[in-house]
Chains A and B, each alone.
Chain A
Amino acid sequence: MSIKIENLNYIYGKGTAYEIKALSDINLTIEDGEFIGLIGHTGSGKSTLIQHLNGLVKADSGAIYVNGENIYQDGYSMKKLRGKVGLVFQYPEHQLFEVDVFSDVCFGPKNQGLSTEEAAKKARLALQSVGLSEKYYKQSPFELSGGQKRRAAIAGVLAMEPDVLILDEPMAGLDPKGRDEILDKIARLHRERHLTIILVSHSMEDVAKYADRLIVMNRGSVQFQGTPREVFSHYKELEKIGLSAPQITYLMHELKKKGFSVDVDAATVSEAKESILKCLRTGKRPEGV
């Protein structure tokens, strides 16, 4: 499912003393099956942007086309849109409310008008894909650990079987093990179910590893977009807007400065490793090393 955003503008608190231009003139295209990393400093407008994509916030001007249809045209069903574009909020475990995990995951599919059996089927599938084992199904969501809660909440959105899955900082506040688990599950959904993924984060390391394309936002507008390699080549500009390239980018630039002919655009640790090994094997070393 493709999403096209045209000249989108949004102002917070219109008509009050606290007017803030949250989004200005956003133009973006997101293709079917892409894995997008959406990066930006706090307050750069990334959370506002993703809330537009499933119609929770309505733009002041501009248009959004989902599969070629303008979501702001009369008679467009927002409910259907929300089934197609699943949005997982920051700290999604804070929205758990049911008596047990399983019924909480059923909440979404039931709102879509599915019967209890169908909803249960989808909930089971969703819980399996986030890797939550069956013994937790009948437990209260408040008895789970942080990572488990988070996964249960993500399953709650997955159970609606969206074509596009948007996750707002899904790793925030988790320990390294929890982070890796969540990220791996998301990557698997992308690979196996061909979901279009939009991952919001400010950790470059995390997005660099998984995303096909990065979109960098600053003060309500899109600053850079492109493959991680392209975006990280602007590492000096990224620093100016309060972000940074992955540490490996800095290492590669340092090595290059010292005279090693390494690939400075390597975006991940494994790419960098290849490049460094290649450089060492060819034996071309700077003077005095």
Chain B
Amino acid sequence: MIRDITIGQYYPADSVIHKLDPRVKLVGTMVFLVSLFLFQSFSGYIAATVFLGCVIKLSKVPLKFMLKGLKAVFILLLFSVVFNLFLTDGETLLPIFGKLRITKEGLRLAVFMAIRLVYLIIGTSIMTLTTTPNDLTDGLEKGLRPLKKIRVPVHEIAMMMSIALRFIPILLEETDKIMKAQMARGADFESGNFIQRARNMIPILVPLFISAFRRANDLAMAMEARCYHGGEGRTKMKPLIYKTRDKIAYGTFVIYLLTVIGVNMVSRVL
């Protein structure tokens, strides 16, 4: 049931991509996303495909898991393809009726847009699949540290994020348990109109809120009992330090970015 939903969908495996510093992966994902919108030419897509293919291969995550993320944006993908396909002005390829027609530019735009969106999703899922949520927040905290100078509470934000992430699976499990318990008492969550269904949620929501508050309270006490007092002077058990492989990864990003820009410029000249 609810347990099947994967959030923070980390896929454990022993790969180079998994071992990379989370900051590298954050920056890398950003670079890849930006690169997708840099080029207009066909050859740029080849470069992006090769790069993505290599990363997927290196990550040792089955492709099935990457494609899972696409399901969620399928409707959006469909919309963008349909609108681009039928509503772009240009040379008519296939008239349907009235203003509705498939143009050469439309076809081109639709295909490119679809590829971009798919790569966007796959690119970000590689990051979440190969990085635990805790690593990710650690990376964010360290990466955003310069913002501390302008009084952004970076540590507190990162701590809140990691606590929130940590609570997601717990609360999901709790919801699952309470739902089952109420179903065992004959509760019905599937039938009835909207208002009835909303009312049927009360037996889940009340116990869930109570347990969430109880857990939050316990956690706060456990943290205070261990002398937690914010980020001031706090050290890390596993501090993030760039290793050789991280530097190589940064180098790869630069090469990739240069390739994309280069390919794009060459194809524009031709």
Given A89-B181, A94-B211, A96-B207, are A13 and B4 also a contact pair (CB < 8 Å)?
yes
Report whether B185 and A160 are in contact in the complex, using a CB–CB cutoff of 8 Å: yes
Residue of B nearest to A18 (CB): B12
Is residue B188 within 8 Å, beta carbon to beta carbon, of the partner chain? yes
Question: Number of A residues contacting the other chain (C-beta, 8 Å)?
Answer: 27
- Beyond A88-B184, A95-B182, A108-B186, 4 additional pairs, beta carbon < 8 A: A89-B177, A94-B211, A97-B206, A107-B203
How far does the alpha carbon of A95 sit from the alpha carbon of B207 in the complex, in Å? Answer: 6
- Flag whether A156 is at the interface (Cβ < 8 A): yes
Binding site for A on B (CB under 8 A): 3-4, 6, 11-12, 65, 177-178, 180-188, 202-203, 206-207, 210-211
Which of A51, A56, A157, A160 has most B Cβ within 10 Å? Answer: A56
Please state if A89 and B180 are interface contacts (CB–CB under 8 Å).
yes
Task: Assess the B6–A16 pair: CB atoms within 8 A.
Answer: yes
A86 interface contact, C-beta 8 A: yes
Given A17-B12, A97-B206, A97-B207, A89:B184 Cβ within 8 A: yes
Question: A69 vs B183: C-alpha distance in the bound complex, in angstroms?
Answer: 21
The residue in chain A whose Cβ has the minimal distance to the Cβ of B65 is A17
In whole angstroms, how far apart are the Cα atoms of A157 and B181 in the complex? 10
A-B contact pairs, 22 of them (CB 8 A): A12-B3, A13-B3, A13-B4, A16-B4, A16-B6, A17-B12, A54-B184, A56-B180, A56-B183, A82-B184, A83-B186, A86-B184, A89-B177, A94-B177, A94-B210, A95-B182, A95-B185, A95-B203, A97-B206, A108-B186, A142-B210, A160-B185
Cα distance, A5 to B40, chains bound together (Å): 62
* Cα separation A79 to B189 with both chains bound (whole Å): 12
Pick the residue among B178, B180, B182, B188 that contacts A51 (CB under 8 A): B180
Give the complex CA separation of A86 and B181 in angstroms.
10
- Which of A86, A95, A142 lies at the interface centre, i.e. has the most chain B CB atoms within 10 A of its CB? A95
In the assembled complex, the Cα of A87 lies from the Cα of B177 at a distance in Å of 12
* Cα distance, A92 to B184, chains bound together (Å): 11
Known: A17-B12, A94-B207, A94-B211. A111 touches B180 (CB 8 A): no
* In the complex, the 6 A-B pairs of residues with the closest C-beta atoms, listed nearest first: A111-B186, A97-B206, A108-B185, A95-B181, A87-B184, A89-B181
State whether A82 and B186 are in contact (beta carbons under 8 Å apart), knowing that A97-B206, A97-B207 are contacts in the complex: yes
Measured CB to CB, the residues of A under 8 A from B are 12-13, 16-17, 51, 54, 56, 79, 82-83, 86-89, 92, 94-97, 107-108, 111-112, 142, 156-157, 160
- When distances are taken between beta carbons in the complex, the residues of chain A under 8 Å from B4 are 13, 16
In the bound complex, residues from chain A placing their C-beta under 8 Å from that of B184 are 54, 56, 82, 86-89, 157
Cβ of A17 and Cβ of B188 under 8 Å apart?
no
Q: How far is the CA of A187 from the CA of B64 in the complex (A)?
A: 52
Least CB separation from A16: chain B residue: B6
Q: Please determine whether B183 and A82 come into contact, CB atoms closer than 8 angstroms.
A: yes
Also in contact, A79 and B186, with CB within 8 A (given A13-B3, A17-B11)? yes
Residue of B with least CB distance to A14: B4
Tell me the bound Cα distance from A83 to B183 in angstroms: 10
Minimum Cβ distance to chain B for residue A144 (Å): 14
**A156 CA / B182 CA spacing, docked (Å):** 10
Q: Check if A111 sits within 8 Å of B6, measured CB to CB.
A: no
Shortest C-beta distance, A102 to chain B (Å), equals: 15
**List of A residues within 8 angstroms of B181 by Cβ:** 87, 89, 92, 94-95
Chain B residues with CB under 8 Å of A89's CB are 177, 180-181, 184
A168 CB → nearest B CB, Å: 10
A160 to B186, Cβ gap below 8 A?
yes
Report B-chain residues with C-beta under 8 Å of the C-beta of A160.
185-186
Residue contact A95 to B178, C-beta cutoff 8 Å: yes
Q: Note all chain B residues with C-beta closer than 8 A to A83.
A: 186
Query: Quick one: which of A12, A79, A94, A112 has the most chain B CB within 10 A?
Result: A94
From residue A246, how far is it (CB to closest CB) to chain B in Å? 30
Cα of A17 to Cα of B60 in the assembled complex, Å: 12
Closest CB in chain A relative to B18 CB, distance in Å: 13
Assembly CA distance A161 to B206 (angstroms):
25
In the assembled complex, the CB of A115 is this many whole angstroms from the nearest CB of chain B, namely 15
Q: Which residue of A lies closest to B64 (CB)?
A: A15
Task: Report how far A164 CA is from B211 CA in the complex, Å.
Answer: 29
Instruction: Kindly state the separation between the CA atoms of A54 and B183 in the bound complex, as whole angstroms.
Output: 10
* Most A-side CB within 10 Å, residue of B11, B177, B178, B186: B186
Within 8 Å CB of A16, what residues of B? Answer: 4, 6
Q: How far is the CB of A94 from chain B (nearest CB, A)?
A: 6
The CA-CA distance from A88 to B11 in the complex, in Å, is 34
